[in-house]
Amino acid sequence: MSEENNRSSQHSLFTLFRFGAENGVYVGIVLSLCALCLFCSMEYPVLSLLIFPLLLVLIILLTWLLARMARENPAFRLTSPLWMCGIVTFICGSLITALFSAVYMIYVSPGFIERYFMFTLEILSQSTDTAVKGEYDRLLSMGSALPSSMEFVSTMFWTTSFFGSILSLVLALILPRTSLVVPKNKKVD
């Protein structure tokens, strides 16, 4: 009996990881679109405004994906499996975005970090606000301490993975108690 439970547990874990990896593609597409908006914002400043609606789409998408997983697999209607699936989904999505960003910054736009830094300095230098001028002076003094492209990509990967984990935890705590996961005529465990 113990061996059967162990196989069932391994199958459930495999299903959870598979579901997270498959859905990480969708999260990766949205995160890559956010990165693309950042990369192209110097030429088309309005693209920087698209990042916020894309982040809202990301929250809605993750909510829908986790709710779908819980509806399809009743064993995953608990907080811990939903959270784990959200973490796996975000890590896979972040890996896709990191790959996209690395390719962009190495092959398409080498020197992006330096150009973006100079672009930011140019905008700050035009300000008359003393607080902004102080920020301008601080940034001007750290010009030689800019991260490399790979340091930027690595930081972006870990940051999106961390915030994805926090978002997944919040959703995993809320979703099991909603009708998105459990129809209204069914009782919540």
3-class SS letters over 125-167 = HCCCCHHHHHHHHHHHHCHHHCCCHHHHHHHHHHHHHHHHHHH
CA distances from 174 to 76, 78, 80, 170 (A): 14, 10, 12, 6
**DSSP assigned state of 184:** T
Within-domain flag for 29: yes
Q: What does the pLDDT average to over 105-127? A: 84
Burial status of residue 12 (CB atoms within 10 A of its CB: 0-12, 13-18, 19 or more): middle
Into how many domains does the chain fold? 1
Q: How much of the chain is helix, strand and coil, in % rounded to 5?
A: 85, 0, 15
Residue 33 in domain: yes
pLDDT at 33: 97
Look up the domain containing 114 and give its range: 16-177
Cβ(146)–Cβ(114) below 8 Å: yes
pLDDT for 109 equals: 92
- pLDDT of 38-55, one tens digit each? 999 989 989 999 999 999
In a domain, residue 45? The reply is yes
Domain membership flag for residue 102: yes
What is the average pLDDT across 23-46?
Answer: 95
Give 114's pLDDT tier (boundaries 50, 70, 90).
Answer: confident
Under DSSP, the state recorded for 77 is -
More confident residue, 115 or 93: 93
Task: Assess if residue 183 is contained within a domain.
Answer: no
Residue 5 lies in a domain: no
CA angle in degrees (0–180, nearest 5) for 37-40-43? 135
The answer to the question of residue 49 being in a domain is: yes
Give the model's pLDDT for residue 101. Answer: 96
**Residue 8 forms part of a structural domain:** no
Across residues 117-128, what is the average pLDDT? Answer: 76
In the predicted model, what is the mean pLDDT of residues 67-84? 89
Q: What is the pLDDT of residues 141-187, one digit of tens each?
A: 765 677 889 999 999 999 999 999 999 999 999 998 887 776 655 55
